[in-house]
Structure 1
Amino acid sequence: MTTLPGERDGAPRSAAIPPLKWTSSASESWRRSKDVKDVFAGITFEVAYNLGKHVLAGPQERDLPALTPVLRWRKGQRMATWFEKNCLSDDCAADLRLHGKLLLSGLYTKPHLALGGVKNVSLNLTISNTGDDAYDTNIYFNFSREVFYINFWQKEEKGISCGLVDLDFLKCSVGFPFMRAQTKYHFAVIFDTSQLSGENDTLQFLVQAKSANPEHKLSDNTLDLSIPLIRETDTTITGVVTPSSFAYGNSIDASRFVQLEDMKCNFQPLNLTFQAINKGPSRLPGSTVDIRIPNRLVGNGADMFHIIETQVTDGRGNCTPHRNPTPCTIPQEKESIFHSIFAFFTKSGRRVVDCDRPGRACMTISCSLGPQLKEEALSIDIKLLLNTEILKTDSSSVIQFVTRGSVQVNDGVMEVENGLSEDFSLVFEALHSQEPRGYVVGWIIAISLLVGILIFLLLAVLLWKLGFFRRRYREIIEAEKNRKDSDESWDWMEKNH
């Protein structure tokens, strides 16, 4: 005798019972195996019998062969046994309902998930059954292969167990062997999200509850839990300039400067280094750095800077090329000697050359940078020459250059609110030696002597006009006259006596 699988459509197959044989009538008792989960399909029993080998005892001397026995009745019988069920409805329908929400780890409460900033997420689920006892109840999770299942947690021990069927498919058994009617279970499933690449814009979990019972309302058996994925970064920029100050003027040794081939200009070499830093938490796919350098002292003047080289760390970016067709421009001296002397005596104070001030002509270097990991920095090195001949025409004793750099992230990346500054300023100064040219010194000495003589003559004439010299002369004459009169008086008295 053998049991056959349940033949109800869609029902799981029941366990097979090994065939038994006996030679006489018998009565057997059967119990359902604990591993059989299908309690709705009946267990079919089939009983069959046949004749054994017919053996005749004693010698057989008949001319005709022995007759072969023939069964008069059917060889088998089929019957089915059904499990006893205690159901409220006629078809024992269950009514499963799923509720849940997706929570981010830690204190992260934003409506999106920042790639790299959230290490794991939790699906907090509640499953309830308002119908009949639900046999073989399971919850299935479909998710991205970039997400990894960690573990599950249940508020109370309810016989929940979870296991991966595939890398992107998780199955959780609820209340084995059945989930009782009018019950509710709470549990959470935790996933690792640290390996998300951001290829998709949304992290999605499809959750579905099923049981072996029939169910008439399936709309509340599924959940679509999702959250937008964004790249969130905190970018900043820093920089340094070498040298931070230098002196220029006619008294400065020309060997301290650089001269290009076939050019008479003295150039001051400068090295500008800007660093674009990604403070995270996400990987930065790309950014743009704009560097603005004040290139002229006056709006219609000549360009002062000549770019030699622009380089990004390890070639992980490129910058717009800049070429000065006339790097050596020596302004023509059309001013008079008196204007030069006046400029020397009035050369004082500080002049600030800044691109943010109106009317300034600036050179902009735009660099496109490649991807950056969290806490990674990319450097932009700029080597340039400054034409000091143009600086000599300015009347300031100190010229301060303000170079500004700014970084902007590419589209699709969000900056952290109230994060680090995305702008930075580099300041370097040109200090005039305050020593005039040779011919200016000669003219200053000559003019000084001339002015001194004129002042002396002016004072002499002024004193003469005021009678200073005449008053002294009159006193001398009167004193001499009185002396002579006195001498004559004494001579007369001596003669009379």
Structure 2
Amino acid sequence: MDSLLDNNITLRIPLKYEIMLNVHGFVTPASFIYGPSEENEPEACMMEKINFTFHVINAGPSMAPNVSVEIMIPNSFTPYHNKLFNILDVQTTAGKCDFDDYQRVCTLSQEKRKIEPLKDIVNFFSKTDKRLMYCLKNDLHCLVFSCNFGKMESGKEASVHIHLEGRPLILEMDETSALKFEVKATVSPEPHAKIVELHKDENIAYVHLEGLHHQKPKPYFRMMIIATSFILGFTVFLFLSYIMWKAGFFKREYKAILQEENRRDSWSYVNSNKEN
């Protein structure tokens, strides 16, 4: 009888969560135009705003605990720390995003306003084809947005929308013919021994934003090119004129040649009269 009452058993079965987090994104517009502005144009930020959108989805069969995504956007030309973008707005459909917010600036610093003709000439003739901007781990030259969505059930999706504005510094860039920004987004769950991540290669997404130079030199540099071309052309003209003068081109006896031709014409006229 006692053995019948003591027939309970507790069986512990370790559970594991199989999750598969995917992230993808895009940017609008995909490219923008930059380059030095005219002298009389007021300094201003980029008219067209840059919008990044990233979607995160849990495509696995289990719930993903404490999911977060890290978005890194290049924000300065190394080795300088002058920021290229203003942060206008950051929105997420779930959870919240943390980032280093700073004041909006739409003017150039006094150092950037200085006219450096020699540097501009070197940049014009040694301009690179394309400059790739990317971020490294713990990169101080990048904007970092860390967004936490909390737990995500299977099939659940969350989105992050980032609105940026280009500062005058990026618009006045003149050292390269094209810029390519590589924006990286990495999604990950909270580290736990019971979590099994499937297809980890889909946890990272890259979005590319391109900038194209308008290929117009600075106004004062255009005037310098015109003046230099005129002086060079006039110098070549004087040099050729001197060579021709030394060769005697301007000392030809045109009068003697003309008299000789008249004499020949007169002789032909006399001979024709005699024949008649």
TM bracket (short chain): 0.7 to 0.9
Aligned residues: 254
Bigger radius of gyration among the two: 1
Alignment of 1:19-418 (within 5 A): 206=9, 226-249=12-35, 250=37, 264-267=43-46, 268-313=48-93, 316-325=94-103, 327-331=105-109, 332-347=112-127, 349-356=129-136, 361-412=141-192, 414-418=195-199
Unaligned runs of 5+ in 1: 1-9, 12-136, 143-205, 207-223, 255-262, 491-497
- Alpha-carbon shift at residue 468 of structure 1 (Å): 5.9
Bigger shift: 338-347 or 440-449?
Answer: 338-347
- Cα distance between partner residues in 2 of 1:344 and 1:265: 24
Partner AA of 1:244 in structure 2? A
Instruction: Give the structure with the larger strand fraction.
Output: 1
Preserved contact between residue 70 and residue 147 of structure 2 (Cα < 8 Å): yes
Partner AA of 1:389 in structure 2? L
Partner AA of 1:231 in structure 2? Y
Note the alpha carbon deviations across 1:177-231, whole angstroms, 9 max, x for none: xxxxxxxxxxxxxxxxxxxxxxxxxxxxx3xxxxxxxxxxxxxxxxx65431012
Note the alpha carbon deviations across 1:261-287, whole angstroms, 9 max, x for none: xx9432341111111211111111211
Residue in structure 2 matched with residue 440 of structure 1 by the alignment: 221
- Cα distance between partner residues in 2 of 1:301 and 1:390: 13
- Alpha-carbon shift at residue 365 of structure 1 (Å): 1.2
Q: Percent identity?
A: 30
Note the alpha carbon deviations across 1:61-92, whole angstroms, 9 max, x for none: xxxxxxxxxxxxxxxxxxxxxxxxxxxxxxxx
- Alpha-carbon shift at residue 368 of structure 1 (Å): 1.2
Note the alpha carbon deviations across 1:269-324, whole angstroms, 9 max, x for none: 111111121111111121121111111013224111221221111xx211113222
Preserved contact between residue 341 and residue 444 of structure 1 (Cα < 8 Å): no
Preserved contact between residue 290 and residue 407 of structure 1 (Cα < 8 Å): yes
- Cα distance between partner residues in 2 of 1:281 and 1:359: 35
Counterparts in 2 of 1:284 and 1:481: CA distance versus 1, 3 Å: closer
Relative contact order, higher structure (CA 8 A, sep 6+): 2
- Cα distance between partner residues in 2 of 1:445 and 1:432: 22
Residue in structure 2 matched with residue 422 of structure 1 by the alignment: 203
- Cα distance between partner residues in 2 of 1:364 and 1:460: 66
Preserved contact between residue 242 and residue 271 of structure 1 (Cα < 8 Å): yes
- Cα distance between partner residues in 2 of 1:348 and 1:455: 32
Partner AA of 2:19 in structure 1? T
Preserved contact between residue 302 and residue 329 of structure 1 (Cα < 8 Å): no
- Alpha-carbon shift at residue 346 of structure 1 (Å): 4.6
Partner AA of 1:324 in structure 2? Y
Bigger shift: 380-389 or 411-420?
Answer: 411-420
Bigger shift: 376-385 or 322-331?
Answer: 322-331
Preserved contact between residue 244 and residue 429 of structure 1 (Cα < 8 Å): yes
- Cα distance between partner residues in 1 of 2:196 and 2:243: 79
Counterparts in 2 of 1:460 and 1:358: CA distance versus 1, 3 Å: farther
Note the alpha carbon deviations across 1:448-468, whole angstroms, 9 max, x for none: 212211121122234445x26
- Alpha-carbon shift at residue 357 of structure 1 (Å): 9.6
Partner AA of 1:361 in structure 2? H
Counterparts in 2 of 1:477 and 1:231: CA distance versus 1, 3 Å: same
Instruction: Give the structure with the larger helix fraction.
Output: 2
- Normalised to the residue count of structure 1, the TM-score between the two structures is 0.45
- Cα distance between partner residues in 2 of 1:358 and 1:373: 30
Residue in structure 1 matched with residue 271 of structure 2 by the alignment: none
Preserved contact between residue 329 and residue 390 of structure 1 (Cα < 8 Å): no
Note the alpha carbon deviations across 1:109-142, whole angstroms, 9 max, x for none: xxxxxxxxxxxxxxxxxxxxxxxxxxxx9xx7x6
Partner AA of 1:353 in structure 2? M
2:152 is paired with a residue whose SS is: coil
Partner AA of 2:206 in structure 1? S
